[in-house]
């Protein structure tokens, strides 16, 4: 009868040193270079190479145009939520729901623009203070405005985005960045054109004849 093989030795854990090492490996390393530029791995405005086949100069210009579109789109998105919350009057329910629907579409645009910037090797604007500095849309008051004023304010913001979008798309397309051109026309421009139409029809209905 063959002899049973000897069981393999089980690795013994643990000297005190091993236990201390294991504990260190799960301990979060907090407060790493916070709030200093020295902690950045890429500065805002810098464009790093990505395999998109565009010249760096073209990518850098597109990133600049897209960050402007992003700042204005984030502002318009947030203006929709403000008005969704603050609207009052006989058309409350309709405007409340429409403004939330438009808000959701603007949320998608924000993500699409921001990710296009990353595709091009750039850095997207993100934080409210930076967006407030960059946007060209006038700041609304903190308080409540009448529904018709809210609608006019939204329409003006859309018109600004639409004009900027057409000009930026043309610049990107002329420079050979057809991906940015397409994003700005197919998604940003068309969404804004549709939404501004819905808003303006509400103002016609509310006008005294
Ligand atoms: Fe809501």
Indicate whether 22 pLDDT > 90: no
What is the Å distance from ligand 1's center to 31 Cα?
A: 36
Looking at residue 4, its pLDDT comes to 56
Percentage of residues in the chain having pLDDT higher than 70: 87
pLDDT band at residue 8 under the 50/70/90 scheme: low
What is the Å distance from ligand 1's center to 204 Cα?
A: 25
What is the Å distance from ligand 1's center to 96 Cα?
A: 8
Looking at residue 76, its pLDDT comes to 98
Location of structure tokens 């579109």: 69
What is the Å distance from ligand 1's center to 84 Cα?
A: 7
pLDDT band at residue 26 under the 50/70/90 scheme: confident
What is the Å distance from ligand 1's center to 106 Cα?
A: 15
CA distances from 69 to 12, 59, 114 (A): 60, 15, 9
Which one, of 47, 67, 52, lies nearest residue 176 by Cα? Answer: 52
- Angle between the 190-206 and 147-174 helix axes, to the nearest 10 degrees? 160
pLDDT in tens, 107-137: 999 999 999 999 999 999 999 999 999 999 9
- Angle between the 56-86 and 147-174 helix axes, to the nearest 10 degrees? 170
What is the Å distance from ligand 1's center to 101 Cα?
A: 10
Indicate whether 207 pLDDT > 80: no
What is the Å distance from ligand 1's center to 206 Cα?
A: 23
Rg of the chain (C-alpha set): 26
What is the Å distance from ligand 1's center to 85 Cα?
A: 7
pLDDT in tens, 150-195: 999 999 999 999 999 999 999 999 999 999 999 999 999 999 999 9
111 and 174 in contact (C-beta within 8 Å)? no
What is the Å distance from ligand 1's center to 173 Cα?
A: 38
Q: How far apart are CA 36 and CA 58, in angstroms?
A: 29
What is the Å distance from ligand 1's center to 81 Cα?
A: 8
Which tokens is 51 given? 């395999």
What is the Å distance from ligand 1's center to 205 Cα?
A: 24
What is the Å distance from ligand 1's center to 93 Cα?
A: 11
What is the Å distance from ligand 1's center to 99 Cα?
A: 9
């Amino acid at each position: 009868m063959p002899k049973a093989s000897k069981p393999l030795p089980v690795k013994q854990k643990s000297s005190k040193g091993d236990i201390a090492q294991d504990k260190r490996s799960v301990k979060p390393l907090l407060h790493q270079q916070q709030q200093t530029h020295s902690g950045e791995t890429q500065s805002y405005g810098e464009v790093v190479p990505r395999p998109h086949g565009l010249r760096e100069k073209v990518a850098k210009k597109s990133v600049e145009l897209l960050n402007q579109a992003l700042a204005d789109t984030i502002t318009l998105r947030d203006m929709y939520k403000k008005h969704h919350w603050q609207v009052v009057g006989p058309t409350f329910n309709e405007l409340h729901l429409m403004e939330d629907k438009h808000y959701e579409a603007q949320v998608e645009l924000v993500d699409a623009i921001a990710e296009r910037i990353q595709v091009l090797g750039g850095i997207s604007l993100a934080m409210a203070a930076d967006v407030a500095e960059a946007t060209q849309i006038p700041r609304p008051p903190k308080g409540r405005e009448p529904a018709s004023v809210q609608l006019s304010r939204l329409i003006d913001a859309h018109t600004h985005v639409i004009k900027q979008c057409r000009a930026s798309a043309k610049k990107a397309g002329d420079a050979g960045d057809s991906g940015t051109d397409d994003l700005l026309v197919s998604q940003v421009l068309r969404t804004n054109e549709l939404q501004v139409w819905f808003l303006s029809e509400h103002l016609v209905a509310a006008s005294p004849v």
